Amino acid sequence: MGAIHIGHTSLVAIAKSQNDLIICSIFVNPTQFNDPKDLLKYPRPIENDIKMLENAGCDVLFLPSEDEMYEMGETWEHSFGELAARWEGASRPGHFNGVGQIVYKLFDLVQANKAYFGQKDFQQTLVVKKLVKDFNLKTEIVVCPILRESDGLAMSSRNIRLSELERAEAVKIFQVLNDCKSRFLQGESTSAIIQAVEKTLNSIPNVKIEYCAIVNQENLGEWDISLSSKAPVAIIAIQLPSVRLIDNMILE
């Protein structure tokens, strides 16, 4: 959705190592915003975006207008089941329907062999994989690692809206995720880990926890070692006065 940062250009770099032609789309998709104010505030530094993509070696930029992507009064609905109903789906009703709507359109237009998404939006990657499966699309989804600032804050287009104080508080997300991982690998129960994380985050004046959980990687349900072949993932969403941030870490 634009406001390109190094996390985005890392996707271009990975894609270039595996493919001949690299296409990037930039479209601030209105149907995935459940808060109109958030849509209006979303950064759109398009000239800088173009420069960064050129420097990263992107071959084609698809930069459609809203009129090009949507007809007046157009609606679209697809059920992603429980996967889209919990966590981000519960916090942002209708969000994943909007994501599915625009990703389906983009995949249909571009017909890409592979599409590269960042792990930071972990739930979104699962939703997009389900979209591909449900509609028998030919695009392979490649999930790439989270890129972080030097202090550990996950790179995000929304970070530029953080005040100096909020920026100092936001890095605590990475710290508690590392604490989750350490405690989990030492054998502590998931309920005890979450209690410790919530205690830490609740001690920060400007932080409001939306959710914090340790879940399985398959569908983000409650983690159970007997039901999953993969390590669990710790997921967090917090609200600061000026911005909402999400992050995650695989506990392995």
Is residue 8 annotated as a catalytic residue, yes or no?
yes
Q: Which of 5, 8, 78, 95 is flagged as catalytic? A: 8
Q: CA-to-CA distance for 99 and 127, rounded, in angstroms?
A: 8
Phi, psi of 154, rounded to the nearest 5 degrees: -65, 135
Is the sign of the CA dihedral 72, 78, 80, 82 positive or negative? positive
Would you name the residues annotated as active-site residues?
A: 8
